[in-house]
Amino acid sequence: MISVEQARARILSGLRPLPSETIPLSEAWRRVLAAPVVARLTHPPSDMSAMDGYALRAADASPGAVLKVIGEAPAGHPFAGQVQPGQAVRLFTGSVVPQGADAVLLQENATRDGNAVRVNEAIAAGRHIRPRGQDFTEGDTVLHPGTRLTPRQIGLAAAANHAWLHVHRQPRVAILATGDEIALPGEALPAGGIVSSNSHMLAAMVRAAGGIPTILPVAPDRPDALADALAGGLGADLLVTTGGASVGDHDSVQAALAAHGFTLDFWQVAMRPGKPVISGYAGATPVLGLPGNPVSAAVTATLFMLPALAHLQGLANTNPPTATAVAGAPLRANDHRADFLRATLSRNDAGRLTATPFSRQDSAMLTVLSAADCLLLRAPYAEAADVGAEVQIIMLDRKEV
């Protein structure tokens, strides 16, 4: 058995970020940049007014001064002439400040009378003007490769005049659930059978991580049928199986993979839940074999599949993001396997983030998994700890507490 960290490093070492593709800006949310976004223009393009008011020379703006309004420049319609001493031009937010002017008098501080405007408050040069290039200058790198694009960054790419972006291709992940006992929701169940939940959960995890899932038909346990089913996942960026990986029956998935030239890297990780994890290659296709129990599948997918998908998308930080919390219940001493306790999150009286493990940690309990906010990490050989002890957690989905 190898450690969780070793297992993750070995999985990632066999993967390379996927090549890039060109996509329209409107499809860019959550995609990962494969190339820098370089500003194609300077923003603002000129000195612009930040407010509604009057462009003038600050030297003219003594209280009581009356200036001649020589024109108006709505946003998008710059004033062609020059502002001379004693003159002003009516402006609006986003208007280009005309030549000669060096300040904007707020309309609240001005009294308009026909073609004249009276200054009610002195202003300093530069006031209410956004100088040309304040935000960025043509040639500036405004976004870097490896960035997963947020809505605001998409806005920035647009402002930098990019209608198309170069991003890493989304990982295509083939998902194969195995087992004679499982059936699709709504379909006929075999005796003592259960409904397949892992493939649907994993497909949603793949989507949430930015990948494109394909759910392969459920594979029965017969090696030849299993080998046929696995063939459907060859050529994917990642082939993920669930089930058929535990001590008693691990031969089924591995034997079936052998028909596709499988090279095993490892198949056991010192963790709980989820010890039976297979990693290797069916020809050129990376294969990740997860346990069949839903909680084990979710935990191992969080620890291994999500980092793999992050790496394939070109993200620099691929480790599951951890945070610090305090224990909401006493924790037992741990054995040689890293333990990932399903826990809820709350705030204790002192306002600290508090992770409280469920009393029932069975790896088949979907209700507990579904209600959990995070995994509470217990390192191998961790000593017993009391309520209030600092612990590391991995958030399972976003929750604000």
Residues in 184-223 that interact with a copy of itself by CB under 8 A: 184-186, 189-198, 200-205, 207-208, 215, 221
Place of tokens 């899932």: 213
Among 21, 45, 124, 383, indicate the residue that binds a copy of itself (CB under 8 A).
Answer: 45
Nearest to residue 207, comparing CAs of 42, 41, 52, 30? 30
Among 150, 283, 336, 384, indicate the residue that binds a copy of itself (CB under 8 A).
Answer: 150
Q: Which stretch binds a copy of itself (CB under 8 A): 10-18, 109-117, 264-272, 289-297?
A: 289-297
Q: What is the rounded distance in angstroms from the CA atom of residue 254 to the CA atom of residue 41?
A: 56
Nearest to residue 329, comparing CAs of 348, 310, 305? 348
- What CA–CA distances, in Å, run from 71 to 64, 68, 77, 81? 21, 9, 11, 9
Among 2, 7, 28, 110, indicate the residue that binds a copy of itself (CB under 8 A).
Answer: 28
Closer to a copy of itself at the Cβ: 45 or 86?
Answer: 45
Q: What are the E-state strand segments in 57-97?
A: 66-73, 87-91
Q: What is the rounded distance in angstroms from the CA atom of residue 266 to the CA atom of residue 269?
A: 8
Q: Does 41 contact a copy of itself by CB under 8 A?
A: yes
- What CA–CA distances, in Å, run from 104 to 50, 69, 92, 112? 8, 13, 10, 15
Q: How far is the CB of 261 from a copy of itself (least distance, A)?
A: 27
Closer to a copy of itself at the Cβ: 114 or 248?
Answer: 248
Q: Does 166 contact a copy of itself by CB under 8 A?
A: no
Q: What is the rounded distance in angstroms from the CA atom of residue 242 to the CA atom of residue 231?
A: 15
Number of residues that bind a copy of itself (CB under 8 A): 100
Site for a copy of itself in 344-363 (CB under 8 A): 351, 362-363
Closer to a copy of itself at the Cβ: 359 or 367?
Answer: 367
CA angle 280, 282, 288 (to 5 degrees): 40
Task: Report yes or no: 375 and 392 within 8 Å, Cβ to Cβ.
Answer: no
Closer to a copy of itself at the Cβ: 59 or 364?
Answer: 364
Q: How far is the CB of 263 from a copy of itself (least distance, A)?
A: 26
Q: Which stretch binds a copy of itself (CB under 8 A): 5-13, 227-235, 261-269, 369-377?
A: 369-377
Nearest to residue 132, comparing CAs of 105, 102, 162? 102
Q: Does 255 contact a copy of itself by CB under 8 A?
A: no
Task: Report yes or no: 186 and 203 within 8 Å, Cβ to Cβ.
Answer: no
Q: Which stretch binds a copy of itself (CB under 8 A): 119-127, 179-187, 230-238, 325-333?
A: 179-187
Burial 92-103 (b: 16+ CB within 10 A, else e): beebbbbebbbb
Site for a copy of itself in 295-354 (CB under 8 A): 298, 321-324, 351
Among 142, 269, 343, 374, indicate the residue that binds a copy of itself (CB under 8 A).
Answer: 142
Site for a copy of itself in 1-20 (CB under 8 A): none
Among 93, 109, 361, 392, indicate the residue that binds a copy of itself (CB under 8 A).
Answer: 93
Q: Which stretch binds a copy of itself (CB under 8 A): 63-71, 109-117, 128-136, 254-262?
A: 128-136
Residue 264 structure tokens:
């095993």
Task: Report yes or no: 150 and 33 within 8 Å, Cβ to Cβ.
Answer: no
Q: What is the rounded distance in angstroms from the CA atom of residue 84 to the CA atom of residue 59?
A: 11
Residue 225 structure tokens:
């049928």
Q: Does 400 contact a copy of itself by CB under 8 A?
A: yes
Q: Does 370 contact a copy of itself by CB under 8 A?
A: yes
Residue 128 structure tokens:
């209410």
Q: How far is the CB of 164 from a copy of itself (least distance, A)?
A: 8
Q: Does 155 contact a copy of itself by CB under 8 A?
A: yes
